[in-house]
Amino acid sequence: MVYFWLLFMSPPSWVLLTIQVSAFLAVGMCLLIMAWIGYTLATTPPPMPLEDFDFEAELGESEESEEESEESEAE
């Protein structure tokens, strides 16, 4: 209600000031959100590495199990 009055019913000098303050706050909020996201990305520790997982062995086992299932279906 106050914002409406400041934009449409106040003296003309207040209208420009109201728009400038609104734009300043909108840009400031966007910058604040981007800073928060950047801080979160910079301070979050990386995930634990997958040292114990052997990708090649897992792929080989899955291929072997597929071959065994195909052989058992053929019999």
Yes or no: say if 30 and 21 are a contact pair by the CB < 8 Å rule: no
Identify the DSSP state of 45.
Answer: P
Yes or no: say if 15 and 7 are a contact pair by the CB < 8 Å rule: yes
- The token pair that represents 5 in the structure block: 């009055």
**Structural domain total, the chain:** 1
Identify the DSSP state of 58.
Answer: H
CA 73 to chain centre: 47
Q: Which domain covers residue 36, as residue numbers?
A: 2-74
Write out pLDDT tens, residues 28-73: 999 999 999 999 999 999 887 777 666 666 565 555 566 666 666 6
Is the predicted pLDDT of residue 9 greater than 60, yes or no?
yes
pTM, full prediction: 0.56
